[in-house]
Amino acid sequence: MIFYPMVISAVAVLVTLVYASYLDIRDRRVPFRTWYPMLVVGISATIVLFYQQTGNISLIVGYLTLIASFFYADYLDNRDPETPFRFPYLAAVLALPALSWFIIPVLSTGKLSETQLIPWYVLFAGLLGYVSYREYKKQPVKKPTAKQARKDAKKESNIEEVLSRWYFVLVIVILAIASFYMIGGGSWGVSGIYIALAAVFCGVFYIFGQMHLFGGADAWALIFIAFCIPTFPFTPLLNTPPLGFLSFSVLINALILNLVAPAGIFIINIVKGNRAPLQYMFFGFPVKGETIQDSWGFVMEDFTETKGTVERKFIGFWDSLRRMRSEEGRVYTKDLREHPEEYEKELGIYKKAGNVWISYAVPFILPITAGLITAIICGDFLLAIMTLITGGA
């Protein structure tokens, strides 16, 4: 079976991902407006698909609720305090779930069947209302320097700070719970599983992006694939996975394909005679300290200078993960290039050190693009591997 709306959406998504990959390689950033054409086509196509399959307006509005929640969270997280607060955004994001969960089902059946969702909606509205109020009251502050931004101390000393930072985890939980209630109560039917899966999948990657455990463009790419292509456009060569949720297969294929890069880097390091502890040989390579600003990646070593002698040590895995999460003590070559005046000390030490090991910087959006192509054509690589191992049992 071929779902023609998903074919159209897949073409739009693929073209956008190819262009976004080009931008990420060239500039190491993908402007958010890059995604707009894909979203217009993909969201419209998905609405058409849901209408063709179910004719369920409540389901379609529930799908729009999910999308609106993510866009509103991004608005709150990135709003310039000097601009007026957009209260219509809050009104829309609160109105959509009320329509989907209560008003439309009542108009269709004549009764309010999902009363269990009332306290969840109250919690949903309360969370967004509270965070919105805090954002509305926020005062403009002087923009910090790049280095100061890396040293943000994450003051989570009270419940207000914790809610402001982690409220979206609860929002995602509420959206997922509401989806399962609507499916179980018969208001949405089986197609509602795509919204429940998308809520969890997209929520994880949005939070990863906010925690700096995942690139912003990479996280949005996976989120928008889930929004625009919830299911396979047609049956792939290796058959459709049981749940038929395309985004998960895209992620799995991307991760498997991305394993090629560390192997290639290790081989190149061996051929060139670069020496480092084994694990670093797979994920980085040395560059000349005097030209480190021309490279892409982050510095994998710590340097100290004592009486003119430069001492160095590799950053451990857990320490590196902590620095990635906190944005403290992690030196990016992009910052060295764009803000050299703030890194004069580091640049001087790197020149004295001679060679400096940095991470490889292949944008993950490239494997994501490859993962999308292979998932649509071939299917889920992990499922194929597991089927091969178990002999098809």
Tell me, what's the pLDDT at 156? 43
Query: pLDDT at residue 118 above 90?
Result: yes
Whether residues 217 and 264 share a domain: the answer is no
Give residue-wise pLDDT tens across range 30-60: 999 999 999 999 999 999 999 999 999 999 9
Last residue of a domain, one of 252, 268, 290: 252
Beta-bridge partner residues of 288:
355
Whether residues 191 and 151 share a domain: the answer is yes
Whether residues 236 and 312 share a domain: the answer is no
Q: Where are the alpha helices (DSSP H) in the chain?
A: 4-27, 36-53, 57-78, 87-98, 104-109, 117-137, 146-150, 159-184, 192-210, 216-228, 246-258, 260-272, 278-283, 317-326, 333-338, 344-353, 365-377, 381-390
Give residue-wise pLDDT tens across range 352-390: 888 888 887 678 899 999 999 999 999 999 988 888 887
| Long-range pairs of 109-113 with CB within 8 A, sequence gap ≥ 24 | 113/185, 113/187
Does 296 fall in a domain?
yes
Last residue of a domain, one of 202, 224, 252: 252
Tell me, what's the pLDDT at 153? 41
Could you give the number of structural domains in the chain? 2
Does 369 fall in a domain?
no
Does 386 fall in a domain?
no
Whether residues 158 and 275 share a domain: the answer is no
Whether residues 113 and 20 share a domain: the answer is yes
Give residue-wise pLDDT tens across range 153-212: 444 445 555 566 688 999 999 999 999 999 988 889 888 999 999 999 999 999 888 877
Tell me, what's the pLDDT at 236? 94
Tell me, what's the pLDDT at 61? 97
Q: For all residues of the chain together, what is the average pLDDT?
A: 87
Last residue of a domain, one of 224, 252, 280: 252
Does 387 fall in a domain?
no
Does 365 fall in a domain?
no
Whether residues 228 and 295 share a domain: the answer is no
Q: How confident is residue 132, by pLDDT bands cut at 50, 70 and 90?
A: very high
pLDDT > 90: what percent of the chain? 50
Provide the domain limits for residue 346: 260-359
Does 286 fall in a domain?
yes
Between 300 and 50, the more confident residue is 50
Does 374 fall in a domain?
no
Does 382 fall in a domain?
no
Question: What's this model's pTM, rounded to 2 decimal places?
Answer: 0.81
